[in-house]
Amino acid sequence: MNSAPNGPLIVQSDRTVLLEVAHPQAEDARHDLAVFAELERAPEHIHTYRITRLGLWNARAAGHSAENMLATLEKYSRFAIPPSVSVDITETVGRYGRLVIERDAEGTLTLTATDAAVLAEISRAKKVAGLLFEKRGPNTFVVQAWARGQLKQELLKLGWPAEDLAGYTPGTPHEITLNTADWHLRPYQNQAIDNFFAHGSGVVVLPCGAGKTLVGLGAMAKAETTTLILVTNTVSARQWRAELLKRTTLTEAEIGEYSGHLKEIKPVTIATYQILTARRKGEYAHLALLDALDWGLVIYDEVHLLPAPVFKLTAELQARRRLGLTATLVREDGREGDVFSLIGPKRFDAPWKEIEAQGFISPASCFEVRIDLPEHERLEYAASADDERYRLAATAPAKLSVVKQLVKKHEGERILVIGQYLDQIDELADVLHAPKLTGATSIHDRERLYQEFRDGVTKVLVVSKVANFSVDLPEATVAIQVSGSFGSRQEEAQRLGRLLRPKESGLSANFYTLVARDTVDQDFAQNRQRFLAEQGYSYTILDSHEIAA
pLDDT at res. 549: 46
Q: What is the DSSP secondary-structure string of 499-519? A: T-SPPTT-PPEEEEEEEETTS
Q: What percent of the chain has pLDDT over 70?
A: 90
Could you tell me the pLDDT band of residue 359, with boundaries at 50, 70 and 90?
confident
What 3-state DSSP class applies to 55?
Answer: helix
Q: Where are the beta strands (DSSP E) in 118-200?
A: 132-135, 140-143, 162-164
List the one residue out of 97, 38, 87 whose CA is nearest residue 66. 87
- Cα–Cα–Cα angle for 461, 274, 418, rounded to 5 degrees: 20
Asked whether the predicted pLDDT for residue 470 surpasses 50, the reply is no
Same fold, 187-356 and 362-546: yes
Between CA 245 and CA 318 the distance in angstroms is 29
pLDDT for the residue 503: 61
- What pLDDT sits at residue 495? 58
Output the pLDDT for position 487: 42
Q: Residue 144's pLDDT is what?
A: 92
Residue 328, pLDDT score: 78
| Average pLDDT along the chain | 87
What is the average per-residue pLDDT within 82-103? 96
User: Rounded to an integer, what is the distance from CA 317 to the centroid of its chain?
Assistant: 21
Mean pLDDT of 305-316: 81
Residue 125: partners with Cβ closer than 8 Å, 6 or more residues away = 154, 158
187-356 falls under which CATH superfamily?
P-loop containing nucleotide triphosphate hydrolases (3.40.50.300)
Taking residues 258-271, report their average pLDDT: 91
Among 80-84, 233-237, 329-333, 352-356, the range of highest mean pLDDT: 80-84
Would you say residue 370 has pLDDT above 60? yes
Say how far apart CA 63 and CA 90 lie, in whole Å.
Answer: 15
The three-state DSSP-derived secondary structure of 71-119 is HHHHHHECCCCCHHHHHHHHHHHHHCCCEEEEECCCCCEEEEECCHHHH
The total of other beta-carbon atoms located within 10 Å of residue 145's CB is 11
256 close to 229: Cβ distance less than 8 angstroms: no
Question: Which pLDDT band holds residue 89 (cuts at 50, 70, 90)?
Answer: very high
pLDDT per residue as tens digits for the range 97-147: 999 999 998 999 999 999 999 999 999 999 999 999 899 989 999 999 999
**Higher local confidence (pLDDT), 500 or 515:** 515
Region 284-304 average pLDDT? 87
- What is the pLDDT confidence band of residue 535, given thresholds at 50, 70 and 90? low
Per-residue pLDDT at 53:
95
- The domain ranges of the chain are 9-95, 99-160, 187-356, 362-546
Q: Answer with the residue of higher pLDDT: 268 or 336.
A: 268
Query: Looking at 114-192, which runs of residues are DSSP E strands?
Result: 132-135, 140-143, 162-164
User: Does domain 362-546 correspond to CATH entry 3.40.50.300?
Assistant: yes
Contact 9, 33 (CB under 8 A): yes
pLDDT value for 525: 73
Handedness of CA 104, 105, 107, 108 (dihedral sign): negative
Q: What pLDDT score does 537 carry?
A: 67
Burial of 9 (0-12, 13-18, 19+ CB in 10 A): buried
Q: Who has greater pLDDT, 307 or 52? A: 52
Q: Which region among 256-265, 282-291, 438-447 has the lowest average model confidence (pLDDT)? A: 282-291
Q: What is the pLDDT of residue 469?
A: 47
Parallel, antiparallel or unpaired: strands 109-113 and 99-103: antiparallel
Query: Would the pLDDT of 485 be above 80?
Result: no
Evaluate if residue 317 carries a pLDDT over 90. Answer: no
Among 377, 420, 385, smallest CA distance to 518 is for: 377
